[in-house]
Structure formats: structure tokens, C-alpha cells
Amino acid sequence: AQRVTQPEKLLSVFKGAPVELKCNYSYSGSPELFWYVQYSRQRLQLLLRHISRESIKGFTADLNKGETSFHLKKPFAQEEDSAMYYCALSADNYGQNFVFGPGTRLSVLP
């Protein structure tokens, strides 16, 4: 069965510092990986997906199949990046087997 792990429950960085939110997965096939974000008092929303290879709000994530990782990175953290971040995996394109990680709370300090 597929599984997503996010080793850090809480990550605190100072404004302007680089940030990396770790995500590892276990799945024998070729998964699709996503990052979802939930800002304070807002809904959970899709941040980015690996297949699009885009940068959203300065964040990027590269799928490393060898290390089964999909870490989220940003070179210079901003206070407005403070939120809960969830890594998610889809084992197919049919909505089945969509698994979320436990989440990492990012706190960007002034």
C-alpha cells in the first residue's frame, strides 16, 4: 500500500532563510505527487503537482524516484508562507488511492 511520510511536524525558519519541507513516499509504481497548503483560516488548496514542474509562490518540488522523495523548497521564506503543508500521492489518475501525509506546520519568523 502507498504511504506518505513527512518527518517534521513543525518547521521554524527566519524570514529570508531557505526552507525545505521533506516528503517521502512508498509506492511500487509511478505515482503522482502533490503539495497542498492550508493557510490560517483558509481552506486546504493545491499548491503544486510534480508533473507540471512549475514554481508556485516561489516554491518548487522535484520528484526523486531514486530516493522516493518530493521535497518542497523555497530559497527565501516569507512570513506569509506560514501554513500547514501536506504532501499527497495519487497512485492513479482515477482519484483512487489518494493518500495525504500527516502534514508539516511551517512557521516563518520575522
Q: Which residues bind to other proteins, rule: CB under 8 A?
A: 32, 34, 43-46, 49, 86, 90, 93-103
CB of 15 to other proteins, least distance (A): 27
Least Cβ distance, residue 65 to other proteins (angstroms): 18
**Cβ atoms < 10 Å from Cβ of 26:** 13
- Name the residue among 79, 41, 43, 35 with its Cα closest to residue 59: 35
Residue among 29 and 95 whose Cβ is closer to other proteins: 95
Minimum distance, C-beta of residue 19 to other proteins, in the bound complex (Å) = 20
Residues 6+ apart with CB under 8 A from 55: 48
